[in-house]
Structure 1
């Protein structure tokens, strides 16, 4: 959907020519988010602005859906590209409805259509239309204004969106909420998005692809998982930080690591049975007790099963935590640390036990990518054959 072909920008300054973007070539498939990431002054925002010609390229081409934009009318080009900036840029003398519908009106939409579109978008960004559409930007919080900025960019239903640090000025709590809402919208809308950020955690969370820039050059362009597992050089590795293995926790879902083998007991089983299953399955501390619907209702500890007689229903402890198949490993690790646990039960959408996830399985999964990368680095020929 978006293709950059040797895109270059050279600024003339009193001290001479400055290359802000140096022969940038990359593509973003339809429906994906590509995060442009790098230190200040690396060329990521200049590259973004050349796509809608806010910055005129010195050389190179931009293709959108296969069409060379070089000869396109600048206004037509911009009206078909949604644009969101950190400073939001709402028109202060216009109502929220007027702000959202600026581009549809310029495109000649009739009044009923663009007003309905405004209401639809307000619902999409979780803001009540009747409560906000007639207000002015000054009557909204910063986070609310940023949501309106996103809605305005989506108003004419553009296939492409450009976003320049759109959530950077928002406090961490609201930023996380807006990021989550935006990702939910993206699952439905499937826009093709280029998104400038300075936050590696945001890039990993939001991006299908991440492009790392340095001094005007594109250094690495890959999926977040590949980026973290196999940084191209020392600069990328240092930029990602020493905790890049931990950052991968955000990318891996429980269903990728979970084992469907899990020992359980029922409330009517004896503690002797529970102890036998703990020993048979190699659990160190406890076994899960489930009801007739196979939902977790308690834990039988090894200590209790070893020292007490009776039935599980009379001697169980509460289950400290469960995880779902769609939880990420960062949440799992946090729960394990908080509960001093080495494993947690995993449940499906109906709350029934699906399996278990263990610390050992998590560390093996995370480490396997790094070990493969190191092996490929030592023996490039084998990596090519694979």
Structure 2
């Protein structure tokens, strides 16, 4: 969808030439989010702005859907690219509806069509059109204004969106909420997005691919997991930080690590049965108790089962928590640490037990990816 070929920008100053972007060559497949990441002044924002010619390139080409954009009128190019900036840039003298429909009106859409589009987008960004469309930007919070900025960029249904630190000015709580809502939107809309960020955690969360920039050059373009497991050089490794293994917790789903081999008891089982089953499965501390619907309802401790007679239903304790198959390992780790436990039962969309996840399994899974990357990096080259 987006292809950059040797895209270069040289700024002329009184002190001489400054190369802001140096022969950037990269591709972003259709429907993916590519995060441009790097330290300040590395060329990521300049590269973004050259795509819609806010900054004219010195040399090189930009292709969108295979078309060389150098032959397009600047106005036509920009109207087909959604653009969202950190400062939002809403028109203060226009209502929210007028802000959202600015580009469709320029394109000549009839009133019924662009008004319906505005209401549709308000639903997409989870803001009631009946409440907000007739308000002005000054009547909205910063987070609400940012959502309107996204809606405005989507108004003409552009195939490409450029986003320049769009959530950078929002407080951390609202920022996480808007990021989540945007990702849900993207699952449905499948836009092709270039997204500038300075936040590594945001890049890992939001990006299908991450492009690392340094001093105007593209250093590495990889999927987040590959980037964290196999940084190309010492700069990328240091930029990602010493905790890059922990950052992978956000990328891996519980379903990737779950073990379906889990021992359980029912409320009607005796404590002797619970103790025997714990021995069979090698459980040292407790065993999960499930009801007739295979839903988790508690756990039976070994200390109770070994000293007491009776039934599990009369001697169980509350669970430390459960984890959904689609949750991240980061969430699983957080629950384990908070509840001082080394395992959690895993549940599906219906709340039924489908396995368990342990700290050991998570450690082995994460470590295996790094060990594989290390073996690849040190393997001797082979030739014909």
Q: Which residue of 2 aligns with 1:290?
A: 290
CA distance in 2, matches of 1:205, 1:75: 33
Please list the CA deviations of residues 242-279 of structure 1 after superposition, one character each: whole Å capped at 9, or x if unmatched: 11000000000011000111000011111111111111
Specify the alignment match of 1:109 in structure 2: 109
TM-score (norm 2): 0.99
The Cα of 1:320 is off from its aligned counterpart by: 1.5
* Mapping of residues 274-353 of structure 1, within 5 Å: 274-353=274-353
Alignment partner, residue 87 of structure 1:
87
2:23 equivalent in structure 1: 23
Describe the SS at the equivalent of 2:346: strand
Aligned length: 384
Deviation at residue 281 of structure 1 after TM alignment: 0.6
Is 2:136 the counterpart of 1:152? Answer: no
How many Å apart are 1:381 and its aligned residue?
Answer: 3.3
- Cα shift readout 1:121-177 (whole Å, capped 9, x = no counterpart): 011101110111111111111111000000000000000000000000000000000
Conservation of the 8 A alpha-carbon contact between 2:320 and 2:341: no
- 3-state SS of paired residue (2:381): helix
Question: What is the SS of the residue equivalent to 1:381?
Answer: coil
- CA separation in 1, counterparts of 2:306 and 2:337? 26
2: distance between equivalents of 1:97 and 1:338? Answer: 45
Separation in structure 2 between the aligned mates of residue 6 and residue 49 of structure 1, nearest angstrom: 15
Structure 2: runs of 5 or more not aligned: none
Confirm or deny that 1:33 pairs with 2:71.
no
In the alignment, what sits opposite 2:7?
7
RMSD: 1.0
Native 8 Å contact 2:9 2:59 kept in 1: yes
| 1:191 equivalenced with 2:197 (yes/no) | no
Q: Which residue of 2 aligns with 1:257?
A: 257
Q: Determine the C-alpha separation between the residues in 1 that align with 2:355 and 2:292.
A: 16
Deviates more, 1:59-68 or 1:372-381: 372-381
Shift of 1:340: 1.0
1:244 aligns with 2:238: no
Task: Name the CA distance, whole Å, in 1 between partners of 2:144 and 2:267.
Answer: 50
In 1: Cα distance, 2:184 partner to 2:284 partner: 40
CA distance in 1, matches of 2:45, 2:178: 21
Encode CA deviations 1:93-147: one digit per residue, 9 max, x unaligned: 1100000000000111000000000000011101110111111111111111000
Structure 1 match to 2:367: 367
Q: Distance in 1 between matches of 2:319 and 2:192?
A: 43
SS of match in other structure, 2:177: helix
**Residues 31-110 of structure 1 correspond to what in structure 2 (within 5 A)?**
31-110=31-110
1:367 is displaced (CA, Å) by: 0.3
Deviating more after overlay: 16-25 vs 368-377: 368-377
Q: Secondary structure at the match of 1:123?
A: helix
